[in-house]
Amino acid sequence: MATGDQPLRSRIQTANAPGCDFPIQNLPYGVFSTAGGARRCGVAIGDQILDLSAAEAAGLIFAENTFARPELNDFIALGRAMWSKTRARLTELLAEGASEDLPLVPMAAARLHMPFRVTEYTDFYASKNHAFNVGVLFRGPENALPPQWTHMPIGYNGRASSVVVSGTEIRRPMGQLKGENGPVWAPCRRLDLEMELGAVVGADSRMGDRLSVPEAEQMIFGYVLLNDWSARDIQAWEYAPLGPFQSKALGTTISPWIVTQEALDAFRSPGAERVNPLLPYLQEDRPGLYDLTIGWRMNGQQMGQTNYNVMYYSSAQQLAHHTETGCPMRVGDLLGSGTISGPTRDQTGALLEMTRGGQDPVTVNGQSRTFIEDGDEIDLYAYAQGDGYRIGFGPCTGRILPARE
């Protein structure tokens, strides 16, 4: 995708700025609407959205009329060959020197929506740093990592119904908390974020079938930023013996643009060093993680930043493990990576780690914080830095509303 030593440039000049999240090398998919208009599919390019529904109606692209629909699931279901063909055609249309009349919409004039219908949602626990730090807080350093953790991806089935798009406000949950003399009913007092990457499954598998890691990788359409909001005090009371339940059901925020796997291929990276060999069904034939800077802000202040390649398991390994017992997967399934944390405090992706369970507060805009207060806004960001361009994900934000008592 380069001419000589120069990266490919777009006819949309804002897409050529070095810090732009949406250069021609990216071309992420989303769903948008304008005033009085219906929801339809689009691609982000610079500060514009290419209206894919209008482009298909004009004969510029062909995707079986799926882009006029209010979600990307039907396009995704067309399969990898169509994903690649469409991406190649969009690159032609948006490249510098192309002359076709394009239906462009200023991003500032558009409202962004959920990019796909989430069929099922599974959240994993794939950062060794995060798993160890949280394990120390809950169980002590001797029992921080359960014995199976370095042998298989650990996960739980979450709520697809509470996955929402960036900008949606999240209400502080009520819940059952541990009190001095038994349980109490109260607003969550230890509300937290979890900085994650979400993988969007792009193909079905049959019940009873198992996927290899290479097969699973071929089924991944792309990635979104993901904030798995967590009620830590509700979680601490409920999680034994079956794990998280209501503490994770209050909301999960994702970014509105799906960055395709193809856009990230140039940034493949090995993950964390293995403690022991994995069983054959989890072994990869090429690196499944990415050199991807990822971080978060609280009320505009930079808080934590690390790299996605600190993770112990890739999304393809998680997907392969998900089918280990023959569990069928569906187009639109969402797999959360688990909190992405580096080895140091300023690289953590959750306040639980950063404040050591609330024992070591942080200062945010001059105010002491241990967990998230009403009115606080959390903003996730991520990008892969290329030579002269950046593959960004756009916003993943949410603001906390007071509980309804």
Cβ–Cβ under 8 Å, residues 308 and 197: yes
User: For this structure, is 113 an active site residue?
Assistant: no
Name the strand (E) or helix (H) holding 29: strand 29-33
Structure token pair of residue 172: 């502080």
Other CB atoms within 10 Å distance of the CB of residue 12: 21
Catalytically annotated residue among 130, 151, 321, 322: 130
CA angle 24, 27, 31 (to 5 degrees): 145
- The type of residue at 392 is G
Structure token pair of residue 32: 């948008």
Cβ–Cβ under 8 Å, residues 160 and 248: no
Cβ–Cβ under 8 Å, residues 310 and 316: no
Task: State how far the Cα of 200 lies from the Cα of 293, in Å rounded to an integer.
Answer: 19
Q: Are strands 155-157 and 289-290 parallel, antiparallel or unpaired?
A: unpaired
DSSP 271-331: -SPPSSPPPGGG--SS--EE--EEEEEETTEEEEEEEGGG-SS-HHHHHHHHTTT-----T
Q: What is the CA 345 to chain-centroid distance, rounded? A: 22
Structure token pair of residue 3: 């001419």
Cβ–Cβ under 8 Å, residues 155 and 318: yes
Cβ–Cβ under 8 Å, residues 391 and 25: yes
Residue carrying structure tokens 């974020």: 193
Q: Which residues are catalytic?
A: 130
